[in-house]
Amino acid sequence: MLIIGIAGGSGSGKTFFLNKLIQSLSSELVCNLSLDNYYKPKNEQEKDSNGIENFDLPTAFNIKTLLNDIQLLKSGTSVQFEKYNYNNADLSTEFETIYPAPILILEGIFMLYYEELIPFFDLKLFIEAPLELKIDRRIKRDKLERGYEKEDVLYRYYEHAIPSYEKYILPSKLNADLIIPNHQQVEKAVETITNWCKQKLMT
């Protein structure tokens, strides 16, 4: 099993790039896990000085469970989990089952930060985008998909996401094999990685 890690700041376009890559490789070859589905419960999250839960910290995620799921998939066993609904009461609870495939893609803001994960990766990608674009993407996503008000989104972005990016995520860029600017055309990067994967699977 080939394992690819995709990291980058909030709103950098990781999911967009992931979907492009899956389309290029074909869904039959790929299974993927999102770090978002490994958030700890809200009552276990650290709070800032204003009593607001900070979901943009490395401690916000249950990495032991993620590591266990990676091992299960590598051994040929499927995994099932409750999809994270971003604490949005309007979203119903959904369960998802992930079945093993030749390529496993792991995507999330801290995917290249955790030292425990680095040895698993055959290829490590870091997605970049300008700050203004990341903020705009997060406002639209959190309002439409997660039901957050704009003021709440901006507070969390400036008070939580940016400091976390500078302290934890940006330094993890040094672990990347490839750095991909996602405010430009990504087709060439997708094509390059697709060809690399296919060659690896043939050897």
What CATH number should be reported for the domain holding residue 123? 3.40.50.300
Q: Torsion over CA of 102, 17, 98 and 101, rounded to 10 degrees?
A: -10
pTM of the prediction? 0.89
CA atoms in the 13 A half-sphere facing the CB of 4: 26
Mean pLDDT of 108-125: 96
Q: Is a pLDDT exceeding 80 seen at residue 53?
A: yes
The model's confidence at residue 46, banded by pLDDT at 50, 70 and 90, is very high
pLDDT digits (tens, 9 = 90+) for 58-86: 999 999 999 999 999 999 999 998 877 66
The mean pLDDT value of the chain amounts to 89
pLDDT band at 151 (very low <50, low <70, confident <90, very high): confident
pLDDT bin (cut points 50, 70, 90) of residue 149 is confident
Counting the structural domains of the chain, the total is 1
Domain boundaries, position 42:
2-202
Could you count the other beta carbons within 10 Å of the beta carbon of residue 120? Answer: 17
Q: Residue 183 has what pLDDT?
A: 65
